[in-house]
Amino acid sequence: MASTQQFALEYLQNGRRSLETHLKNPSMVTAQLKHLNIVPEKVLRKVRSFKKRLSQTRVLLNEVTKRGEVASYELLKILYKNRHKTLPRTQSKLGPDLHQWISCFSFTEDPDLQSSPASDLGPCERYRKQLKMKATEVVQAKLDRSMNFLRDKWKSFTYIPLVLDTEKSDLSKIKCKGYKKAREKKLKTYIPRDKGKLSLDHLLKTNEKKILLVGKPGIGKTTVVEQLLRLWSENEHYEESYMFYFDEPAMRSISHSSEPSTLRSLLFDRYVSPEQGTEDEVLRDLENNSENVTVVFDGVIEEMSNTVLKDIMNKKILCDAKVLTTCRPEAEDCEFLTDWPSYRVEVKGFNDESIHAYFKWRLGTTEPKECSILNNLAVFSLCHVPMYAFIVTACISFNPSEADLHPCTITEMYVRIFRHCMKIHGDQNVEHLDKYIQDHKGNIRFLALSSYQAMLNKSVNLSGLDCKDNIQQAFLTFSAAKDLSASTTEFLSSSFLHNTMQEFWAALFLLMTPGNISDVLQKCRTEDGKYLKYVVCFLCGLMSSRLAELMNCVMHAEEIRVISYSYMEKIIDTFIHPSRDEDYDALVSSENLLFTCQCLFEHQSPEACASFLQKVNFEFNLSGEELDPQQCCAVSYVINQSECQVVCLYLDDCSISDRGLKLFLSSLGNIAHLSLDPIRQCQMWKAALHPDTQADFDTLLSRLLRLCDGKLHLSAVEGQNDQGVFQRTGEFQFLKQRGAETVELCLHLDRDTPHIDESLTKAILDSLPNINIIRFVDSGERSNSFEAWARSFQLDLLLLGALKQKETGQKCVDHLHRLLPVTNSDSTENKTTFALLLYQHVKSYEDSQGVTVLPKLVPVFHSVPLVWQISLADSRISALLDVLKVTGVKKPMEVGLSDDDTELGKLLVFLPFISQLRQVIKLYNCYHIFWTIHVKCL
């Protein structure tokens, strides 16, 4: 049950959103309130005058809440007594369990209600119900904030799956004080190599007691945590467990404070308080059964001075509790988390399927026309970050007619959000919007200053603001709280919907006061101030000439141009040469290289990119890095600003998605050297050959062949999402038409027992004149099956080549004979084995299909092998004899022979097909064998 300190009116207001959507029979409830003289007859008539249930419910709730505490209390009693008629019970994504919600309210002065099943529960059980109700309210409040921020219609919460990766290795050696690495090497160690995707339920069920959830801003860390809350609150399997959630504003306010100083004050005063008189019993159960407790700290920062938080994370209290913390990648490198060995899970954001699912949900149609904007790879690369996907769909909903004129940089999206919010809250027409913004420039600057000061203090809570200010209302959310330690005086805390919006406003302040930019850049060079680099990225976007028209109402375009001219070079130097003590020509760390490219992408200036390219000597060494689509988009943009083919790009051993590689395809014309390991080459070719790739096919493949030294890498098995890749491979006739050199085809094994795709063999046979040699590449993970697989593929290919040659008359077998690696093998035994297997393979096909193709393969048997090698005790000896009869050509032979005289007769049968008996293995007397053969021949 809920705390007795929570009044009925407050409880009703907290649950109003769910009641508006899900309350049943509102007219019946109103009639009962009239019978109790809570509302007059005219209210009942007004409720019944509306046909829609939603409208009836809104009128009912408005009338009750304006009548105060007593009316609210009586309404809750009616809902509880008639809950089976008025409140739905559901555990689905359609809404919260309102039966659980109403049972959590404490009807303290009603004995008849206290005798209900809910009152029979013990204090710990009732407290767990309170926590579950709190979890439901947290998730609902987040959705309400986002929808209110956009003034959008209310939608039920829908969780779109995020990609989670982890590594199973023990990180204790990595995260210990005495084991320090350079940041670049440490981050490489953290890159998850186990690509098995995790489910959210796994995080609840795992036995790991310390879980670190890592991800960059907006990637979905909080979304994952909120879904965990939802799963926990709705799943009956967790009835015996407790879960406490502290969001980022709470973490910011608690981390640097000495209060709360005890576990009791943290859990009960700062989160949910049990019923009066039960605090000791609940706290005792929490401490004695801490294995049933989960504590979530959303937004752990670099510094933490609060002893209670430290004791929980270090297991000095609640020793067996599960502690889940979230942080950005840069916070992970702080001293506190470095000394905190944990089970590390990385949030990767949306995959392709999730992006499309999110757009369909947010835009409210099954096949939204606006989803066509995702064909723009720049926008698609942004949308793998859920926060940016949210903003892109918001920009579309503002003006669907301009869906194809969508922004492609993060800053431009935030500028459009800024203008839209000013338009809505100022109730302005578009033609008057710029003047309205100019008239309120002072208010805008004050909000930007508050955001900047909060950023310097590492806080998401803005102080000294007025919730009645129209400009602040447009962007901030205000929440009321009570100071439980001193008095009941209420105060307001304000924050942005997301911390990236706060960073945007801090950047806006720097643009309006450029004298502070140098100070921020200096702080970015330090460990303590490196988090400010995200503000700098937004600043680069705001200085873009592309946004001059949109920002002209805040600052004149000429002023922005002067600021950009003065500071853009300094920003580049800050991140590619962060220390003044370093050699100017020293190698740039890949982390700073990627971030600078993102700043340049936001700035959208070819001149700035040209300067940057010269500073890094036109070299991008990203080997071993994990690149998300947004970073690939930024790097590709910068490379495309090069005026000629002079850029060197190193992507060996990178973790990169197919979408990311597609972005690099657009830069091939500006790359002089491309370093890719075989696996990445295979991935790059798949992206280039995919039917969805929008590019000049001939030009694209010609460039890629040049950069790959004439080698074409393909996976031998076409995946479910790769339909059409092999068909495009068959279009290599353009090479012959242009007189280009033939290609070296490298086929990769990527399954233990692969089924060879027929479309691949057809593509190879169609392209034989353009192929120089066929090689097979082992990934190194399945070496035991690789040789057998490669041999099986060659057997199938030769058989299909013989069939095609029989049908068309083309010399497929001769071409294949020259291309396949079996002809270049140094092992005589392997060649003999292959020839025998080929014969058996073809004979089996002939017997089953009733056709004859063996004569077409005679050229292969003539040359493979040059010397026969076999033991007369081998079971395949009869197959060899059949092969010799088919070919009719004498060859040298190496014979394995034991001291069994019965094998001599077998040797005599082969004599007509032997040009030279080079070696007789295991002979005890060559002279004896010679005379035995001579006598038998006589």
Task: Give the pLDDT confidence score for residue 824 in this predicted structure.
Answer: 47
pLDDT over 60 at 482, yes or no:
no
> Does residue 166 lie in a domain region?
yes
Q: Give the CA diameter of the chain.
A: 129
Backbone dihedral angles phi then psi of residue 821, each to the nearest 5 degrees: -70, -15
Range scoring the smallest mean pLDDT among 525-534, 685-694, 811-820:
685-694
Say whether both 194 and 277 belong to one domain: yes
848/596: higher pLDDT: 596
User: Which of 349, 370, 386 is the endpoint of a domain?
Assistant: 349
> Does residue 41 lie in a domain region?
yes
* Portion of the chain with pLDDT greater than 70, in percent: 75
* Portion of the chain with pLDDT greater than 90, in percent: 14
Helix-helix angle 629-640:606-615, to 10 degrees:
90
428/531: higher pLDDT: 531
Say whether both 144 and 286 belong to one domain: yes
Say whether both 221 and 106 belong to one domain: no
Task: Give the pLDDT confidence score for residue 178 in this predicted structure.
Answer: 32
pLDDT over 50 at 340, yes or no:
yes
Give mean pLDDT, residues 834-859: 81
Cβ 801 vs Cβ 813: under 8 Å: yes
Task: Give the pLDDT confidence score for residue 583 in this predicted structure.
Answer: 47
Exposed/middle/buried for residue 59 (C-beta within 10 Å: 0-12, 13-18, 19+)? middle
* pLDDT tens track for 863-886: 777 777 777 766 677 777 787 777
> Does residue 722 lie in a domain region?
no
CA separation for the pair 677, 230 (Å, rounded): 43
- Domain hosting residue 90, numbered range: 8-120
Say whether both 159 and 303 belong to one domain: yes
For the chain, the residue count is 938
pLDDT over 50 at 491, yes or no:
no
Cβ 503 vs Cβ 455: under 8 Å: yes
* pLDDT tens track for 456-472: 888 777 876 766 666 77
> Does residue 142 lie in a domain region?
yes
Strands 476-482 and 490-496: antiparallel
Task: Give the pLDDT confidence score for residue 688 in this predicted structure.
Answer: 84
Say whether both 170 and 298 belong to one domain: yes
Range scoring the smallest mean pLDDT among 25-29, 649-653, 847-851:
847-851
Say whether both 899 and 931 belong to one domain: yes
Confidence of residue 779 (pLDDT cuts 50, 70, 90): low
Domain count for the chain, please give it: 5
Confidence of residue 183 (pLDDT cuts 50, 70, 90): very low
Task: Give the pLDDT confidence score for residue 194 in this predicted structure.
Answer: 36
Say whether both 200 and 272 belong to one domain: yes
* pLDDT tens track for 791-804: 888 888 888 888 88
Q: Which of 517-521, 733-737, 848-852, 881-885 has the highest mean pLDDT?
A: 517-521
Say whether both 228 and 360 belong to one domain: no
831: Cα separation from own chain's centroid: 47
Say whether both 310 and 369 belong to one domain: no
Q: Which of 271-275, 469-473, 494-498, 713-717 has the highest mean pLDDT?
A: 271-275
Confidence of residue 563 (pLDDT cuts 50, 70, 90): very high
Cβ 717 vs Cβ 754: under 8 Å: yes
> Does residue 684 lie in a domain region?
no
Give mean pLDDT, residues 245-266: 84
- Give alpha helix (H) positions in 666-770: 678-689, 697-707, 725-729, 733-737, 758-766
Of 112, 105, 15, 9, residue with least CA distance to 65: 9
| DSSP track, 556-614 | -HHHHHHHHHHHHHHHHHHHHS--TTS-TTSPPPHHHHHHHHHHHHHHT-HHHHHHHHH
Give mean pLDDT, residues 657-662: 82
Task: Give the pLDDT confidence score for residue 521 in this predicted structure.
Answer: 93
Range scoring the smallest mean pLDDT among 160-174, 368-382, 880-894:
160-174
Provide the whole-model pTM.
0.66
> Does residue 391 lie in a domain region?
yes
Task: Give the pLDDT confidence score for residue 829 in this predicted structure.
Answer: 66
Give mean pLDDT, residues 769-785: 73
Say whether both 72 and 158 belong to one domain: no
> Does residue 246 lie in a domain region?
yes
Q: Which residues of 232-259 are buried (b: 16+ CB within 10 A; e: fewer)?
A: bbbeeebeebbbbbbbbbbbbbbbeeee
Task: Give the pLDDT confidence score for residue 610 in this predicted structure.
Answer: 93
Range scoring the smallest mean pLDDT among 88-92, 320-324, 643-647:
88-92
What is the CATH number for 318?
3.40.50.300
Task: Give the pLDDT confidence score for residue 179 in this predicted structure.
Answer: 32
Confidence of residue 165 (pLDDT cuts 50, 70, 90): confident
Cβ 275 vs Cβ 326: under 8 Å: no
pLDDT over 80 at 789, yes or no:
no
- Residue 716 three-state SS: coil
pLDDT over 90 at 512, yes or no:
yes
Give mean pLDDT, residues 160-171: 61
Strands (E), 691-797: 711-715, 743-748, 771-777
Confidence of residue 562 (pLDDT cuts 50, 70, 90): very high
User: Which of 645, 675, 705 is the endpoint of a domain?
Assistant: 675
Say whether both 666 and 607 belong to one domain: yes
Task: Give the pLDDT confidence score for residue 620 in this predicted structure.
Answer: 92
> Does residue 801 lie in a domain region?
no
Task: Give the pLDDT confidence score for residue 618 in this predicted structure.
Answer: 92
Task: Give the pLDDT confidence score for residue 849 in this predicted structure.
Answer: 79
pLDDT over 50 at 53, yes or no:
yes
- For the chain, what percentages of helix, strand and coil (3-state, to nearest 5) are there? 55, 10, 30
Say whether both 157 and 181 belong to one domain: yes
Task: Give the pLDDT confidence score for residue 428 in this predicted structure.
Answer: 62
Task: Give the pLDDT confidence score for residue 838 in this predicted structure.
Answer: 83
Mean pLDDT of all residues belonging to the chain: 76
User: Which of 675, 694, 713 is the endpoint of a domain?
Assistant: 675
What is the CATH number for 50?
1.10.533
* pLDDT tens track for 906-922: 677 777 777 777 655 54
